[in-house]
Every structure is written in structure tokens, then in C-alpha cells.
A and B are shown apart, each in its own frame.
Chain A
Amino acid sequence: MHVFTDPKNFDAYVSGFLWILKLTGASAATALVLGVLLAAMRVSPVPVLRGFGAAWVNIFRNTPLTLVVFFCYFGLFVTLGLSLSQDLDLNVFWLGVIGLSTYTSAFVCEAVRSGINTVPTGQAEAARAIGLTFGQTLRIVVLPQAARSVIAPFGSILIALCKNATIVGTIGLMESSNVMKDLINFNGDAVIQIFLVFAGTFAALLIPTGYFFGWLANKLAVKR
């Protein structure tokens, strides 16, 4: 473990995983909002919105994330000049968040939509019968019940998102996978240890996350 006793390497390791956590947090929040909006579009009575939602999901769910992130940097930033921060790292970070949340929102949308399908049709019909609008029906009756059945899929999406965050390394952010490559490059004698530490850190972060979501899903499930 001589590699990680060197404070410089240890700092790099910590900052790499901090980037991953920041990417995951920011993208998860954005993707959640976007995904719920998209799901609302896809079940709405307005054909244009339905079409938009469907197109979004089909495009981003079927494009490799590497390409999406690559486009965010070389398309949005380099070609179109969209600069999100004066700070180099932060700029790459936010461009990465755009890519990750766009991509992940498609998956969130589909999870929410499947959740909506678990709510008995009678619920929505009853809501309409007492005079609620589409928005109110969704907000007050359907979504709260749907949300409780999509906890587990959300957990899977979050875990995938956290691992996907390493892809932002390809556009030059020193996140954990880049730090790992660097450490391996300068410590060729400790490749396996370095790899195990990085893989182990991901496992230590994500295995409890999985259990937590499983527990929460059980606790909140609508018992029908």
C-alpha cells in the first residue's frame, strides 16, 4: 500500500472520488427533475408533448453515454462556445453534468412511467370524477402512489449513474478513473493494489446504497 501512504497520491485519490460524488449528486438531482417532467409529458393528453417526451427518451436511451459526454464538450463547448465557468475543472464538470443528467433523465422517465402504470386506473378516474385537472390528478393522486413503487428502480439508476460518472474523465476531468490511470502510470509495480483500492471504494460506496434503496422500497411500498 506504499502508493497511498504518499500524501500527494492520497489527496489525488480523495479528490478523484469527490468529483465522482459531486457529479453523481448534481446529475441525480437534475435528472430526477427532468425525468419526472418527461414522464408527465409522456402520459399527458397533449400529442406534441407526448411526442417530445418519446423522442427524448428514444434518442438518449439509445446513444452511448461516451458520445453524449463527448458531444457536450466538443460540441457545446469547443464548437458552440458554451462556457459554464471560468475555472477549467468546473467548466468540464458542468458540461459533464449536462451530459450525465440528459442521459440519465431518459431512464428516470421510463422508471416513473412504469410506476404510473402500477397505479390502478380507478384512482385517476376517481380524481377526474371529483373535478381535478390533469395536473392536479398527476400531482396529488397518481405521482405520490407511483413514486413509492419506483424506489428500487431509482436505486439501480443512481448506482449506474455513479459508475457512469467516470466517463466524464474522457473530457479531461481528473475524476477517479483518471486518477487511477495516473497512479498506475507512475507506479507500474502496484497496478493490482491500485485497481483493487479504486474498485473497492466504488463497491464500498454502492453496495450500501443498493441495500438502502431495497429497504426503503419495502418500507414505502403500497400494499395492495
Chain B
Amino acid sequence: MRMKRMAAVAAAAGLAVTMAACGGDSDEGGSSTGATGIVGKAESQKKLVIGVKADQPGLGLQTGSQYEGFDIEIGKIIAKGLGVDAGNIEWKTTVSANREPFIEQGTVDLVVATYTINDERKQKINFAGPYYIAGQDLLVKSDSTLTGPDQLAGKTVCSVSGSTPAKRIQENYPDARLQQFDSYSKCLPLLDGGQVDAVTTDDIILAGYAAQDQYAGKFKVVGSTFSDEPYGIGLKKDDTTGCEKINEILKAAAADGSYKAAWDTTLGKSGTPAPELDTTKLTHCGA
């Protein structure tokens, strides 16, 4: 076993950082009316890509290749108002942290994904809506004595990194121990097993989870909201026309009952009556 002397050849590999351009149709407009943005795309291509959540029962839940939930229904209403059939909508799973990048890069045309309207986000994108006003709350075990966020000191709370609820806990309740994951689905087994004392996000999302079969009767939503979370529809910052159009569609949906129908077939199943869509609160589309 004579080993030959090996000359070590150090190959210095240059670090090639390839920034993959994310997919998405860049060819906007080209429509007969010369409209750009989503209105133009809907007119010219008759299809839309809508970013939604995939792991939030009642709001946006993916089962197989199907998506279902209140956000999905809202997406369908908007698409219909823009003249796009439900069959021509491409749903794209968009986790919280991806929402602005996906809009900015054109990966999706719209985001309807429990998307809280706030000033920070308004600097990057445009919001239509709100189509629902939620509030941050706590989900606890049914026998828990927690009644609100003020008792969280020393308790362990689970939320999603990069989300508004997680940030609010960090800033307003620094004594709470925050466990962060990339989706709420990972929080529930921990609440069930007692490793965390509460899961926090918007009440409507929590209610959707609590209503799932495997957790039936195990959890309860505390019911003392400590924030206002107006859910908006995100789109490109410069697409004022599209934003105004969506607000018109929402107004019409509130008037003709399709908004209520969207609620009744999804979140309404949990027994919560449909909210009134307050059209006076609709955004001014960055104008």
C-alpha cells in the first residue's frame, strides 16, 4: 500500500452568489384599455396569482391542491369583480415573512393572507380593504386561568417570527417568554403538551384552530383582544387604480350579500355571526 505523494491542489472557489430572479409575469398592461397593474393584467391575461396562507383553518388552508377559507373566498370575489374566473386564479402559499417580497417582486399579484394594514408596510406596498377587523388575542388550554396579556410575565407564549403579534409581545410584554416558529401549526402541539402556556395571534385565526377536530374542546380563545388588526389586501405600491377597484368590489360585495356568503361558508361554521363590512373604513389607496 505505497501511497504516492499527493500534491494538494487548493482550488479557490469563487463565491458565485446568484440572485435567482423570482418568477412572475413582468408583462403588465398591454390591455385594450391601456390599464396597468392588476386591472390591466386581469383584462389582458384573464388570470391572477393570489398569495394566501396555507395553514390557517377557516381563513386559508391548503388540503391537497385545494385552498379553502374566508381569505380564499374574498380572493374569489375580487377576481370575479376584475373579470377573472375562479378557475383561472393561481393560489400561491405565502407565509407572513414573504408577503411584501412576493408583492414587490411580482411573484403574486395580490395578497389576501390575514394581512394587517400598518404604516411600515404601507411604505412598501399598497393596501386595499380592510375586509375584516381582527384583534390580537390568546389561545389557551380550556382549563387555563389566563385572562389577558397582562398576566403573561414569566409565561411562555408561542407565535410566528416576523409577524405583528410576535413583535407586539416583544415590545409591550417583554417579561413574557416568546417561542417563535415559522408557522402557527407548530405552536399547537406545544400548547397541547403544556410546553407553552399560550399561543398568540389574531382572534379569528385562533378560533379557526380551536375549531379543528383534533383539538375540539381542548383550547379556548381568551376573548380580550389587545389590538386592532385591520386585514387588508396587499398589492404593488404604485397600483392605485387596482387598489381603488378592489375597494369598489368590496363595497359591492357588502351590498349584494356575497361578503356575508363568503363568511357563512367558512368562518361562519364556527357559529360566529358574519361581521358588517364597514365601508367607511376603506383605505385611501396611498393617495
Task: Count contacts on A: residues with CB < 8 A to the other chain.
Answer: 37
Within 8 A of B (CB), among A172-188: 172, 174, 178, 181-182, 184-186, 188
With an 8 A cutoff between CB atoms, is A78 at the interface? yes
Of the candidates B10, B120, B186, the one whose C-beta lies within 8 Å of that of A186 is B120
Residue in A closest to B120 when the chains form the complex, CB atoms? A186
With an 8 A cutoff between CB atoms, is A25 at the interface? no
With an 8 A cutoff between CB atoms, is A170 at the interface? yes
| Residue interface mask B80-111, A partner, CB < 8 A = 1 | 00000000000000001100110010000000
- Cα–Cα distance between A88 and B190 once the two chains are bound (Å): 13
Of the candidates B2, B104, B161, B162, the one whose C-beta lies within 8 Å of that of A224 is B2
Cβ-defined contact, A182 with B161, below 8 A: yes
Residue in B closest to A117 when the chains form the complex, CB atoms? B1
B125: chain A residues at CB < 8 Å are: 188
Q: A184-B97, A203-B15 in contact; A174/B180 too (CB < 8 A)?
A: yes
Cβ-defined contact, A121 with B162, below 8 A: no
Cβ-defined contact, B104 with A188, below 8 A: yes
With an 8 A cutoff between CB atoms, is B156 at the interface? yes
| Residue interface mask A197-224, B partner, CB < 8 A = 1 | 0010001000100010010011001111
Of the candidates A74, A118, A181, A189, the one whose C-beta lies within 8 Å of that of B124 is A189
Cβ-defined contact, A88 with B179, below 8 A: yes
Of the candidates B8, B19, B162, B190, the one whose C-beta lies within 8 Å of that of A182 is B162
A191: chain B residues at CB < 8 Å are: 101
With an 8 A cutoff between CB atoms, is A129 at the interface? no
How far, in Å, is A135 (CB) from chain B's closest CB? 23
B96: chain A residues at CB < 8 Å are: 185
B124: chain A residues at CB < 8 Å are: 188-189
A120: chain B residues at CB < 8 Å are: 1
- Cα–Cα distance between A191 and B22 once the two chains are bound (Å): 13
- Cα–Cα distance between A192 and B101 once the two chains are bound (Å): 11
With an 8 A cutoff between CB atoms, is A77 at the interface? yes
- Cα–Cα distance between A178 and B186 once the two chains are bound (Å): 16
- Cα–Cα distance between A157 and B120 once the two chains are bound (Å): 42
Of the candidates B19, B156, B161, the one whose C-beta lies within 8 Å of that of A174 is B161
- Cα–Cα distance between A121 and B124 once the two chains are bound (Å): 67
With an 8 A cutoff between CB atoms, is A79 at the interface? yes
Residue in B closest to A224 when the chains form the complex, CB atoms? B3
- Cα–Cα distance between A214 and B152 once the two chains are bound (Å): 52
Of the candidates B10, B161, B179, B181, the one whose C-beta lies within 8 Å of that of A214 is B10
Q: A78-B189, A174-B161, A211-B10 in contact; A199/B17 too (CB < 8 A)?
A: yes
Q: A78-B190, A172-B179 in contact; A192/B19 too (CB < 8 A)?
A: yes
Within 8 A of A (CB), among B7-40: 8, 10, 15, 17, 19
- Cα–Cα distance between A77 and B194 once the two chains are bound (Å): 11
How far, in Å, is B178 (CB) from chain A's closest CB? 8
Not counting A171-B181, A181-B182, A188-B124, a sample of 18 additional A-B residue pairs whose C-beta atoms are within 8 angstroms of each other reads A77-B195, A81-B193, A118-B3, A120-B1, A172-B186, A174-B161, A178-B161, A181-B97, A181-B162, A182-B97, A182-B161, A185-B162, A186-B162, A188-B104, A189-B124, A211-B10, A214-B10, A221-B6
Q: Which 9 A-B pairs have the closest CB atoms?
A: A185-B162, A188-B100, A224-B3, A185-B97, A188-B124, A120-B1, A181-B97, A182-B162, A172-B181
